[in-house]
Chains A and B, each alone.
Chain A
Amino acid sequence: MAKKSRSVRRSKPVRRMEGGKVMAAELQKMQLSESDIQSAEKACTAAVGEFIEEGKPRANVRGLGVGCKWTDGQPTGEPALVVLVSRKVDEEHLTKADIVPPKLQNVQTDVLAVGELFAGNEGIGLQTLAKRLRPAEGGYSVGHFKITAGTIATCVYDILPGGSTGVTPAHGLGVPPRFYILSNNHVLANSNNAALGDPILQPGPFDGGVQPADVIARLSRFVPIQLTPAVPIGLHNNLVDAAVAEGQFHDLDREIYWNGYVRGWRPRNNVVNMVGQVVKKTGRTTNLTTGRITVVSATVDVNYGGGQVGRFKDQIITTAMSAGGDSGSLVMTIDNVAIGLLYAGSQQATILNQIEHVRALLRVEVAEQIL
């Protein structure tokens, strides 16, 4: 990503073409003359202040540089101020103030989608599991219609007759009445701000999911999260950020992209003996990643935006193995035993709920064995 914006500033924007090929004639058209670059750079310096002003951000705008104007997918050879955006949005969906003007400082503009930029994470955001897929599988983008995007953990079903939770958990037997997508409350239930039956989109809205075409499921149940300031932090008793949305069996594949099938799940009392062990996940943003468990039985405060904080108990902490958009990923041992549901993180760490608490509170099975 950084490479891309640098190359734009150096005014030799090598854009990814169909099949990765750039024709020689096009390459030539993308080269600007020294004088063009100089005048465009001057305009860029003048425009950058007003255009990317702190406290007055334009929707999706992430940067500004000098490059060449492209029209209908072809370089024109003319200089332009290239406005870097996280994603392109049709003008009709933008407020007037958010529309990129055709000219800045009397130089024409060009809009280039670069995705989300993360320091030191070149490539993240470029290759997300953002496409529409039926049947959908674990690892792909999903989201409540009012959120951005998160990840499908896997697909699950109701605990069967005879099954139990608690001190001696057991699997039941029989015919599952319903099938669901498993993910976080803040992915499927908009952090408590959803109604049962709300549409769930795959891919999530940030990745282009729209109603009704991309509705894959409907919100069935979620574990409410206690958040400040509504609930004082000392009273919080959160164990999970989890929800399920019911879909049709033929739309739901419980295989996890690049990780395969979940062989079983591990009870909480055995997971707490796993400090130091390696785990893995597939997520919408960082794809396949691995990490190491560093802390268990952890109490941790998690930011939910808008000044809301939730205190969670009995969490698992791993080395950093996720980024925004990976919320909802199922975390497993290297040999595919589910241990946790990913929902939060920082630059230094990733936070998981115990899968046993997810199973007990939502009353769903992710696999047929306790391992």
Chain B
Amino acid sequence: MTIEDAVRQAEPELMKKPNVVGVGQGQRGGKPVITVLVTRKRPEAELPKEDLVPKTVRGFPTDVVEIGVVSAQSEPQ
């Protein structure tokens, strides 16, 4: 499976998790990873099991990245 297919297949389940605002194809140490974007990173201990991002998805490692709140960028009112 290519990383692109893996991202496409895994996206719906990952996007359902609270705090997750994005899923895509990134790199870590030169290797392809599934990047999971969250508004705020939290320690695993604070999260219920079902909200954790799995270490691997469809055979590819995941990378959780904090992105903050994403907004459309016209000049604020």
Q: Which residues of A contact B (CB under 8 A)?
A: 116, 143, 147-150, 184, 186-187, 191, 204, 206-207, 241, 272, 275-276, 284-285, 294-305, 311, 315, 317, 322-327, 342-349, 351
Interface string of B50-77 (1 = CB under 8 A from A): 0000000000000001111111111111
Instruction: Say whether A349 contacts B35, CB under 8 Å.
Output: no
CA distance A327 to B67 in the complex (A): 18
For A187, the chain B residues whose CB sits under 8 A away are 74
- Given A298-B22, A299-B11: A317 in contact with B72 (beta carbons within 8 A): no
For B68, the chain A residues whose CB sits under 8 A away are 346-349
- Given A296-B24, A300-B21: A305 in contact with B71 (beta carbons within 8 A): yes
CA distance A297 to B6 in the complex (A): 11
Q: List 22 A-B contacts (CB under 8 A).
A: A116-B76, A143-B74, A150-B75, A184-B72, A204-B75, A295-B26, A297-B24, A298-B22, A299-B11, A299-B22, A302-B70, A303-B71, A303-B72, A325-B75, A343-B72, A343-B73, A345-B70, A345-B71, A347-B68, A348-B67, A349-B37, A351-B70
Instruction: Say whether A325 contacts B74, CB under 8 Å.
Output: yes
CB closest residue in chain B, given A304: B72
Partner of B72, one of A149, A186, A276, A299: A186
Instruction: Say whether A346 contacts B67, CB under 8 Å.
Output: yes
CB B3 to nearest CB in A, in angstroms, measures 8
Query: How many pairs of residues, A versus B, come closer than 8 Å at their CB atoms?
Result: 126
CB closest residue in chain B, given A315: B24
Interface string of B3-29 (1 = CB under 8 A from A): 010011001000100000111111100
Partner of B73, one of A143, A294, A345, A348: A345
Instruction: Say whether A317 contacts B24, CB under 8 Å.
Output: yes
Chain B: residues with Cβ within 8 Å of the partner, total of 27
Partner of A303, one of B11, B70, B75: B70
For A148, the chain B residues whose CB sits under 8 A away are 74-77
Instruction: Say whether B75 contacts A324, CB under 8 Å.
Output: yes
CB closest residue in chain B, given A343: B72
Partner of B23, one of A150, A298, A345: A298
Given A299-B23, A345-B70, A346-B71, output 20 extra A-B contacts at Cβ < 8 Å.
A143-B74, A147-B74, A148-B77, A150-B75, A272-B4, A275-B25, A294-B35, A295-B37, A296-B24, A300-B37, A300-B70, A303-B69, A305-B72, A315-B22, A317-B24, A325-B75, A326-B73, A327-B74, A346-B68, A348-B67
Instruction: Say whether A298 contacts B25, CB under 8 Å.
Output: yes
Instruction: Say whether B22 contacts A317, CB under 8 Å.
Output: yes
Instruction: Say whether A302 contacts B72, CB under 8 Å.
Output: yes
Instruction: Say whether B70 contacts A149, CB under 8 Å.
Output: no
For A149, the chain B residues whose CB sits under 8 A away are 74-75
- Given A276-B27, A285-B75: A297 in contact with B69 (beta carbons within 8 A): no
For B35, the chain A residues whose CB sits under 8 A away are 294-295, 298, 317
For A347, the chain B residues whose CB sits under 8 A away are 68
Instruction: Say whether B72 contacts A327, CB under 8 Å.
Output: yes
For A342, the chain B residues whose CB sits under 8 A away are 73
Partner of B74, one of A276, A315, A324, A349: A324
For B24, the chain A residues whose CB sits under 8 A away are 295-300, 315, 317
CA distance A31 to B35 in the complex (A): 55
For A184, the chain B residues whose CB sits under 8 A away are 72, 74
- Given A295-B22, A299-B22, A347-B68: A323 in contact with B27 (beta carbons within 8 A): no
CA distance A325 to B71 in the complex (A): 12
